[in-house]
Amino acid sequence: MSDATANGATGAAGNTGRGAAARLSVLKTYKLFVGGKFPRSESGRVYEVADSKGNWLANAPLSSRKDARDAVVAARKAFPGWSGATAYNRGQILYRVAEMLEGRREQFTAEVAAAEGLSKAKAAARVDAAVDRWVWYAGWSDKVAQIAGAANPVAGPYFNLSTPGPTGVVAVLAPDTSSFLGLVSVIAPVIVTGNTAVVVASERAPLPALSLGEVLATSDLPGGVVNILSGRTAEIAAPLAAHQDVNAIDLAGADAALAKELETAAADNLKRVLRPQAGTDWAADPGTERLLAFLETKTVWHPMGV
């Protein structure tokens, strides 16, 4: 792809100025990713997505509250199977996602360059970092229980083990500051441990997220494990934060005022809340914070004796 634009949709320039032989490019209709399928928004609405210079790139679905609720239903439905899969299996599938991402490196580089106004080289570096991060998290699937679990030496004849398990359905507000590396950094830690996710893409730059859905759909990831919505973050996040069947929310993409509002709503069913941290460097080593934030510790006791 030679153009700086993300998807071959060069807008008004696409059909002029290249001489008579210029090919009319095929524009992409971006769609949501819900339950393993690619629906349009139930609302029938779209909004214009522009590159960093304000040039029109594409129309993205403007998700409604109903889309958010549908996504939660899909995520809940996928939870038993995904959380019940072996850690090895989940790790394999996450690694498969990385393989598919690598194959679409050029596409994502172009999308990231357009979204964030970066040179091609810098955008490529971010995409590489995102693929590497995805691989890093893939490797955590069968290790997290060993570092976050415990064999507890209780004062009695009991076999007593604590193991981490997924919290459930996690709503994820992707950061606005990093359309792809930031996005991957908030999705991978949530799902690698067996949670399912409803992701609200960056409002300003949703296209890399919507394209990620296409990668996930072809990576053996069961439908519904990751659901991706685009639109107005505040509008989609409100019903997610208040939803009785959402177990946790990652507020990475919320500003301070919205974060407070959502955290207050999340108290209603005692959702686990990961607060946003201003100035997060998405390129830095993420550590285990996001991984551990969406785990519950289950402790099982059994008597020992003969």
Partner 1 sequence: MTDPQTLDTSQDTPQHPEDTQPVDKQPAQQAPRGAFAYAPAPESRSVVAIAPSYGHFIDGEFREAAGGKVFTTVSPSTEEVLSEVALGGPEDVDAAVAAARRAFGPWSALPGAERAKYLFRIARIIQERSRELAVLESLDNGKPIRESRDTDLPLAAAHFFYYAGWADKLAYAGYGADPKPLGVAGQVIPWNFPLLMLAWKIAPALATGNTVVLKPAETTPLSALFFADICRQAGLPRGVVNIVTGDGAAGAALVAHPDVRKVAFTGSTGVGKAIARTVAGTDKKLTLELGGKAANIVYDDAPVDQAVEGIVNGIFFNQGHVCCAGSRLLVQESVAEEVLDALKRRMATLRVGDPLDKNTDVGAINSPEQLARIRELADAGEREGAERWSPSCELPASGYWFAPTLFTGVTQAHRIAREEIFGPVLSVLTFRTPAEAVEKANNTPYGLSAGIWTEKGSRILWTAEKLRAGVVWANTFNKFDPASPFGGYKESGYGREGGRHGLEAYLDV
Nearer to partner 1, 4 or 161 (CB): 161
Distance CA 208, CA 52 (A): 14
Choose, by CB under 8 A, the member of 69, 158, 176, 222 that binds partner 1.
158
Residue span binding partner 1 (CB under 8 A) among the ranges 62-70, 199-207, 213-221, 265-273: 265-273
Site for partner 1 in 224-253 (CB under 8 A): 247
Instruction: Kindly tell me the number of DSSP H helices and DSSP E strands found in the chain.
Output: 10, 10
Sheet holding 196-200, edge to edge: 226-229, 196-200, 169-173, 248-250, 272-274
Q: Are strands 248-250 and 150-151 parallel, antiparallel or unpaired?
A: unpaired
Q: How many residues does the chain have?
A: 306
Q: Which stretch binds partner 1 (CB under 8 A): 61-69, 172-180, 228-236, 271-279?
A: 271-279
**Residue 44 touches partner 1, criterion: CB under 8 A:** no
Out of 81, 275, 280, 283, name the contact with partner 1 by CB under 8 A: 275
> Which whole-number Å values give the CA distances from 49 to 10, 55, 263, 281, in the listed order?
13, 8, 28, 24
- Binder to partner 1 among 21, 121, 155, 284 (CB under 8 A)? 155
Asked if 186 contacts 250 with a C-beta cutoff of 8 angstroms, the reply is yes
Q: Is 39 helix (H, G, I), strand (E, B) or coil?
A: coil
Q: Does residue 167 bind partner 1 (CB under 8 A)?
A: yes
Among 43, 89, 160, 219, interactor with partner 1 by CB under 8 A: 160
Q: Which is nearer to partner 1, 34 or 252 (CB)?
A: 252
Q: Figure out which of the listed residues 152, 197, 222, 282 binds partner 1, where binding follows CB under 8 A.
A: 152
| 301 makes contact with partner 1 (CB under 8 A) | yes
